[in-house]
Structure 1
Amino acid sequence: MSDNKPTVGFIGFGDQGAPIAQAIADGGYPLHVWARRPESLMALEGHAFTTHSSVSELAAVSDIVGLCLREDSDNLQVAVEGRLLENMRRGAVLVNHGTGLPQAARELARLAEPYGVEVLDAPVSGGRAVALARQLTTIVGGRTQVVERLTPVFRTFSKEVIHVGPARSGQYGKLFNNALMMMNHQNVIEVLDLARSLELPTRPLLDVLRSGSATSFALQAIGPSITSENVHHLQPLELLDMQLFSGAVDALGNQARTVVERAIDGARRLDELTAVVGA
């Protein structure tokens, strides 16, 4: 990296990727982008950026490359088949902001090592509304020195940057976070089921739960962030995350089964919860 702000390449402009890229550009970092579908770059209108015609071209000019793609297989396709790693500079840093398996994060770091490229797994938590407010929590796995170098970039879109540990730790942190949120959603559903059986009015009870010691982000998010309008978009993503969580803790066997099952149940009933809260 030069004495000036490092050049940041970015790939992946979905619900969270686009706001992250916007924040990086507005933070004064030279932003270079590539998109499989050029129309997705419309999300960056009004922000300074340079478009490239290939992954290789973007890689060659970037000190840092951020990926915010849907699945681990997408990362590998871009990094290997798209020749991203092959064309990145030695000492450059590849950052994965997507959610995936810790095992895949470690594999990406292994593939990057021969090219002298550092890799951080840095998934984000908070959802689209929080991303637009630039208040995400960024959960980072990787070498301490590299995390420290990139923290100013992360702070352009984050309220918290938490270094959890070595490569793959960021993904573990994100998956445990999501699993506990889904378990909390299941808790809320079960409490409301009991209340309805007693014919208690739902809305005042929700006011109590949100204002009292029982409150949680999972409870607060129903309504403002998770609504009947977007739940059918969010629910498959949460179920995918719970599948990833199950795969991440599979080696623990029966020790993890209760947590996994409860988290999956919470994700499956997310639409039911929004319907009850909105009633």
Structure 2
Amino acid sequence: MTKIGIVGLGIMGGPMASNLLDAGFEVIGFDLVTSSLERLSAAGGNVASSAGQAAAESDVVITMLPNHPQVEAVALGEGGILDSAKPGTLYIDMSTIRPETARRLAQVGGDRGLRVLDAPVSGGERGAIDGVLSIMVGGSEEDFASAQPIFAPLGKTIVHVGPAGAGQTVKAANQLVVGGTYALVAEAIVLLEASGLDASVGLDVLAGGLAGSRILELKRKSMVAREFRPGFRIDLHHKDMGIILDAARDAGVALPVGNLVAALIASARAQGYGQLDHSALLKVAENLSGKGDAA
């Protein structure tokens, strides 16, 4: 039996751990939040006292953390994952971080005899719970093939997209499209309602035509109802927009719409919406038209 260590058992990592347990894997997890460890234990998993212990006792280690500083701390820090994992261990970072950090992890891990993949995901909390995430993987073809049994209970679309760091670059492109789509759906709702129309009916029509998207499919009802319970917080999407703009700078390309979306998401944080779901871009669109909280 493959033993999997998971560091980070939050909104995404917790359901992923449950799905791996359901698939028959032995899971040992670590998180700084006690309630997350309690949920893992109740589901049949084992609890580690540190990220290093989770790595030392596992054949595969997964990190699912908010940003690159947390990943670097648990992976590269003294007594962390790269210090503690046995040679040959497969280390899969499924966080959304900078491509350059992913490449550094692959380099340092490889020097220590580890196999490293960057495998960020898309699909949000619902996708993690249902095991239908989209997983974009950077690293070697051989290591990707070895990871397939691990990815299978977690995702539906699982694609090797290139060498180390490539997964993070594709994830940046994903977040660019997601942010822009949310911004436009928000403006569509404001337009429909200001015109005296039922936005629910209008979005039902849009969802069935060329404007249809996964966001319209999953989020149109909650957005019209102004239900913004976080599946993916504005604060995290703000972080991702920084990754996107840095990647564009490194690639030498202009992202004019991306810059505008980044500004809208930054505005959402400045207005106090950082802990809400990224669909709360609707509140920014309302405020700009004098229809919302700031009116």
- Residues of 1 paired with 2:231 and 2:264: CA distance? 14
1:208 is matched with 205
- Residues of 2 paired with 1:44 and 1:60: CA distance? 19
Alignment of 1:231-270 (within 5 A): 234-253=233-252, 255-265=253-263, 267=265, 268=267, 270=279
The question of whether the paired residues in 2 share the 8 Å contact of 1:10 and 1:21 is answered with yes
Secondary structure at 2:233's aligned position in 1? helix
Q: Is it true that 1:79 corresponds to 2:86 in the alignment?
A: no
Return the letter of the residue paired with 1:31. Answer: V
2:130 is matched with 133
Secondary structure at 1:79's aligned position in 2? helix
Return the letter of the residue paired with 1:88. Answer: A
**TM-score normalised by the chain length of structure 1:** 0.88
1:90–1:13 CA distance, 2 compared to 1 (3 A): same
Unaligned runs of 5+ in 1: none
The question of whether the paired residues in 2 share the 8 Å contact of 1:231 and 1:274 is answered with no
| Partner of residue 282 from structure 2, selected from 273, 276, 279 | 273
1:161 is matched with 158
1:40 is matched with 36
1:27–1:225 CA distance, 2 compared to 1 (3 A): farther
1:265–1:201 CA distance, 2 compared to 1 (3 A): farther
- Residues of 2 paired with 1:246 and 1:52: CA distance? 36
Q: CA deviation at 1:174?
A: 1.1
Aligned residues: 273
Q: CA deviation at 1:104?
A: 0.8
The question of whether the paired residues in 2 share the 8 Å contact of 1:79 and 1:85 is answered with yes
- Residues of 1 paired with 2:42 and 2:230: CA distance? 29
- Residues of 2 paired with 1:36 and 1:276: CA distance? 36
Q: CA deviation at 1:51?
A: 2.1
Q: Is it true that 1:116 corresponds to 2:125 in the alignment?
A: no
1:57–1:271 CA distance, 2 compared to 1 (3 A): closer
Q: CA deviation at 1:77?
A: 0.8
The question of whether the paired residues in 1 share the 8 Å contact of 2:248 and 2:255 is answered with no
- Residues of 1 paired with 2:227 and 2:57: CA distance? 43
Which digits, 9 at most, give the CA deviation of each residue in 1:132-155, with x for residues without a partner?
111111111110110111111111
Q: Percent identity?
A: 29
Which stretch has the larger CA shift, 94-103 or 191-200?
191-200
